[in-house]
């Protein structure tokens, strides 16, 4: 598993490709944690591998962007708790203190534009995740309406599975499935409008939700609308370019993916990332944050 920091007052219990999770120290084994600490690392992954070295300040940039969006999505409960003065200094800028939630096994994906795996499917079946679409759309085109395309969250190391809305009802019940869909679409619409005011297109994104065990409320968790969970494009470039690759240049780790694809045959251990690739990727993360915040 990926390296993580030892933090006074907290016990590490899980690491994903990017985030490390901690619970308060001293709890009995198996006892529910009243809160957790979510720490975003500088790790970066591509092609199912965590790469080395990481992207400078990535964890801090992702956390800052999540917090900025949480402030603007106050119509839906979120998992944030006050950070407190006792937060370990080494991770303070890239940590979120959060409520413990009963997480739904569904990743709530919303697509506003035809791209990525959706474009690949459309070329074969004129649909995205089984949802029929009009003929004649091109790679990167705006969809007639945003699509909700949920996925079943896989175990660590496995790929999430795209599912139908009907399958999501089977997993969580019609009331929760409908609420997750409607909340996701509403968040996407509001966030898209905010981004467009700043010259940025929100092409697609994914959300994670859980239920607050104290209130029963559906609550948004994890990161929200970051460069790792969302696809953002520059609106001016999108409007002026005709080449799909140029008009859809994203504010994320695409630079890393492109370099790795050109310098690794996907066998064995991936090569170390050059400094200029890491710095250019960090600059894209930082540019998005500055564009949205107006800094």
**Distance (Å, rounded) from C-alpha 113 to C-alpha 259?**
25
Cβ proximity of 12 and 1 under 8 Å: no
Q: How far apart are the first and last CA of the chain?
A: 36
Cβ proximity of 125 and 133 under 8 Å: no
Mean pLDDT of 131-141: 96
Task: Look at residue 188 in the predicted model and tell me its pLDDT.
Answer: 98
Task: Look at residue 194 in the predicted model and tell me its pLDDT.
Answer: 97
Q: What is the DSSP letter of 106?
A: E
* Residue linked to tokens 């970066």: 44
* Residue linked to tokens 């065990």: 213
| 116 has a pLDDT exceeding 80 | yes
| 157 has a pLDDT exceeding 60 | no
Cβ proximity of 99 and 219 under 8 Å: yes
Cβ proximity of 35 and 81 under 8 Å: yes
Alpha helices for the chain (secondary structure H): 58-72, 116-125, 165-172, 174-197, 235-240, 244-247, 254-263, 275-293
Task: Look at residue 267 in the predicted model and tell me its pLDDT.
Answer: 93
Three-class SS state of 139: coil
Q: Over pLDDT 70: what percentage of the chain?
A: 97
Cβ proximity of 228 and 87 under 8 Å: no
pLDDT digits (tens, 9 = 90+) for 195-219: 999 999 999 999 999 999 999 999 9
Peptide bond into 53 cis (omega under 30): yes
Task: Look at residue 29 in the predicted model and tell me its pLDDT.
Answer: 82
| 62 has a pLDDT exceeding 50 | yes
pLDDT digits (tens, 9 = 90+) for 71-90: 999 999 999 998 877 788 88
Strand-pair partners of 230: 205
pLDDT digits (tens, 9 = 90+) for 232-291: 999 999 999 988 889 999 999 999 999 999 999 999 999 999 999 999 999 999 999 999
| 158 has a pLDDT exceeding 90 | no
**Distance (Å, rounded) from C-alpha 55 to C-alpha 285?**
10
**Distance (Å, rounded) from C-alpha 236 to C-alpha 246?**
11
Mean pLDDT of 18-47: 92
What length is written for the chain? 295
> pLDDT tier at 1 (50, 70, 90 boundaries)?
very low
Residue-averaged pLDDT of the chain = 93
Q: How many CB atoms lie within 10 A of CB 240?
A: 10
With 0.75 as the threshold, say if the pTM is over it.
yes
Mean pLDDT of 116-125: 95
Strand-pair partners of 209: 220
CA–chain centroid gap for 172, Å, is: 22
Cβ proximity of 166 and 181 under 8 Å: no
Most confident residue range from 4-18, 97-111, 158-172, 238-252: 97-111
């Amino acid at each position: 598993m990926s390296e993580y920091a030892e933090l006074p007052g907290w016990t590490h219990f899980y690491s994903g490709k990017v985030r490390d999770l901690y619970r308060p120290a001293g709890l009995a084994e198996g006892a529910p944690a009243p809160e957790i600490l979510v720490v975003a690392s500088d790790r970066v992954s591509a092609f199912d591998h965590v790469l080395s070295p990481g992207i400078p300040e990535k964890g801090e940039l992702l956390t800052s962007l999540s917090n900025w969006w949480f402030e603007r999505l106050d119509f839906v409960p979120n998992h944030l708790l006050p950070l407190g003065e006792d937060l370990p200094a080494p991770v303070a800028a890239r940590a979120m203190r959060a409520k413990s939630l009963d997480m739904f096994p569904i990743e709530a994906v919303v697509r506003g534009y035809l791209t990525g795996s959706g474009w690949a499917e459309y070329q074969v079946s004129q649909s995205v995740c089984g949802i029929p679409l009009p003929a004649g759309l091109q790679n990167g085109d705006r969809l007639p309406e945003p699509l909700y395309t949920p996925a079943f969250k896989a175990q660590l190391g496995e790929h999430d599975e795209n599912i139908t809305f009907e399958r999501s009802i089977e997993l969580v019940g019609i009331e929760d499935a409908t609420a997750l869909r409607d909340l996701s679409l509403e968040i996407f619409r509001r966030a898209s409008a905010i981004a467009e005011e700043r010259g940025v297109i929100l092409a697609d994104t994914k959300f994670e939700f859980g239920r607050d065990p104290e209130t029963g409320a559906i609550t948004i968790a994890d990161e929200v609308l970051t460069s790792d969970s969302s696809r953002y494009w520059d609106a001016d470039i999108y409007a002026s370019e005709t080449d799909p690759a140029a008009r859809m240049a994203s504010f994320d780790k695409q630079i890393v993916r492109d370099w790795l694809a050109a310098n690794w045959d996907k066998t064995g251990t991936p090569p170390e990332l050059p400094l200029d690739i890491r710095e250019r990727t960090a600059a894209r993360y930082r540019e998005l944050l500055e564009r949205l915040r107006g800094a």
